[in-house]
């Protein structure tokens, strides 16, 4: 495990973008797993900058997003599909057919999940999985109690996740109760993991994930089993690490 604690939020964005850029520069046809949320916005802004400076090229890059709300239309501004196009994809030269985001409107969501797994495996797996962490320790929408052998599937969101995500909707009643998420085993099969967290609110959970016993009660604690994890935090999120 490699831990980097950044002095400023700007440095956090730059360091995290550099870590992703290094992967793309080392392997132009990298397969990336990508998160949504507030944490990666700054990182995606920096990646767009690096693209505009001709430092990285997304032409051969393939992406798989972690999750999407079930029943969510991709044109809906609260969808993760919309988030990704708005914050990253429309600003870079990635090809449409190399972008993968679970289809929240799939007529057969369970087939959508198994097809998603097949697509990842068909490309030889994820080279780099970029992750945020939820206040309850979730990675993707793998909420506390999720089995470590889980794969891409339909899940119920935890109440704490519904409350946390209500900020992107008019009210918490509008937050979908179900989602499609990559599973813990899908994430753990990635060759490398980059875990990102910012802000004081994440300090305790990110510390516990790497310092307490590995347990399904803190889904991110499973990352202690992964042999190539890079953690980048800002000063506030990193405050409990010595």
Rounded Cα gap, residues 107 and 72, in angstroms: 12
> Comparing C-alpha atoms, which of 48, 60, 53 is closest to residue 24?
60
Told to judge if 67 belongs to the known catalytic residues of this protein, a careful annotator would answer yes
Whether 91 sits among the annotated catalytic residues: the reply is no
Which position among 112, 138, 230, 234 bears the catalytic label?
138
Q: Give the largest CA-CA distance in the chain.
A: 49
- Ramachandran assignment for 192, one of left (phi > 0), alpha (psi -120 to 50 degrees), beta (any other): beta
Residue 46: active-site member: no
Choose between 94 and 157: whose C-beta lies nearer to ligand PGA. 157
By beta-carbon distance, which residue lies closest to ligand PGA? 37
Catalytic residue among 46, 67, 103, 234: 67
Q: Could you tell me the smallest distance in angstroms from the CB atom of residue 120 to ligand PGA?
A: 19
**Where along the sequence are the contacts to ligand PGA (CB under 6 A)?**
37-39, 132-134, 138
User: DSSP class of residue 134?
Assistant: -
User: Which CB atom, from 48 or from 139, has the smaller least distance to ligand PGA?
Assistant: 139
Of 98 and 180, which CB lies nearer to ligand PGA in the complex structure?
Answer: 180
Element (H, E) at 63: strand 62-65
Q: Which is nearer to ligand PGA, 67 or 127 (CB)?
A: 67
Instruction: Report the candidate in 160, 161, 154 with the shortest Cα–Cα distance to residue 178.
Output: 154
Asked whether 87 and 41 are in contact (CB, 8 A), the reply is yes
Is 136 a residue of the active site? yes
Q: How far is the CB of 107 from ligand PGA (least distance, A)?
A: 27
**Closest approach of Cβ 137 to ligand PGA, in Å?**
9
Contact 79, 104 (CB under 8 A): yes
Beta carbon of residue 228, minimum distance to ligand PGA (angstroms, whole number): 20
Q: Which residues are catalytic?
A: 67, 136, 138, 143
């Amino acid at each position: 495990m490699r831990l980097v604690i950044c002095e400023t939020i700007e440095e956090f964005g730059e360091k995290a973008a550099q870590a992703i850029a290094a992967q793309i520069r080392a392997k132009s046809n990298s397969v990336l797993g990508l998160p949504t949320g507030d944490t990666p916005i700054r990182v995606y802004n920096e990646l767009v900058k690096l693209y505009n400076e001709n430092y990285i090229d997304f032409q051969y890059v393939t992406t798989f997003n972690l999750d999407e709300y079930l029943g969510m239309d991709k044109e809906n501004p609260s969808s993760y599909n919309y988030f990704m196009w708005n914050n990253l994809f429309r600003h870079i030269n990635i090809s449409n057919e190399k972008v993968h985001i679970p289809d929240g409107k799939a007529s057969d969501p369970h087939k959508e999940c198994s097809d998603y797994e097949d697509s990842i495996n068909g490309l030889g797996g994820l080279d780099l999985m970029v992750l945020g962490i939820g206040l309850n320790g979730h990675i993707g929408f793998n909420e506390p109690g999720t089995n470590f052998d889980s794969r891409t599937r339909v899940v119920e969101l935890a109440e704490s996740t519904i409350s946390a995500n209500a900020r992107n909707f008019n009210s918490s009643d509008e937050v979908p109760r179900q989602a499609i998420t990559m599973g813990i085993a899908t994430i753990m099969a990635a060759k490398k993991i980059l875990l990102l967290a910012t802000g004081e609110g994440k300090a305790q959970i990110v510390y516990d994930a790497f310092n307490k016993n590995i347990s399904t009660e803190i889904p991110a604690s499973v990352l202690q089993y992964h042999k190539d994890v890079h953690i980048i935090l800002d000063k506030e999120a990193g405050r409990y690490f010595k």
